[in-house]
């Protein structure tokens, strides 16, 4: 039991990792504050565009939504961050997320 506690609740390792965890928390909060308003705005814009009932636009919106609902977010992140540089498009990690 002592090795379990030492492995998972080691104060020394916690002290070493705390700055990285704190930095990660800050980046996560920044992403949250950027992504939520962007998602709401984009979702509302797509919903309002569908109300116009323009058939070609509706088809494009349905394809866009279906593709992004079907792909796991991690796959999208990997493609944005690692595949786009092959097309000479460099995105930072924050921008890709």
* pLDDT tens digit sequence for 16-32: 999 999 999 999 999 99
Which pLDDT score is estimated for 37? 96
Mean pLDDT by 10 residues, the chain (97 residues): 76 89 95 95 90 86 91 92 93 90
The number of angstroms, rounded, from the C-alpha of 48 to the middle of its chain's C-alpha atoms is 24
The overall average pLDDT reported for the chain is 90
Integer CA distances (angstroms), 79 to 59, 67, 89, 90, in order: 24, 14, 11, 12
> Distance between CA 88 and CA 85 in Å, rounded?
5
The domains of the chain are located at 1-51, 55-97
């Amino acid at each position: 039991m002592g090795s379990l506690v030492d492995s998972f609740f080691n104060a020394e390792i916690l002290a070493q990792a705390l700055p990285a965890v704190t930095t990660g928390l800050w980046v996560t909060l920044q992403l949250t504050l950027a992504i939520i308003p962007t998602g709401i705005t984009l979702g509302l814009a797509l919903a309002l565009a569908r109300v116009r009932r323009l058939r070609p636009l509706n088809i494009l919106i349905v394809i866009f939504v279906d593709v992004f609902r079907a792909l796991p977010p991690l796959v999208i992140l990997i493609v944005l961050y690692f595949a786009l540089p092959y097309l000479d498009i460099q995105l930072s990690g924050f921008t890709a997320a």
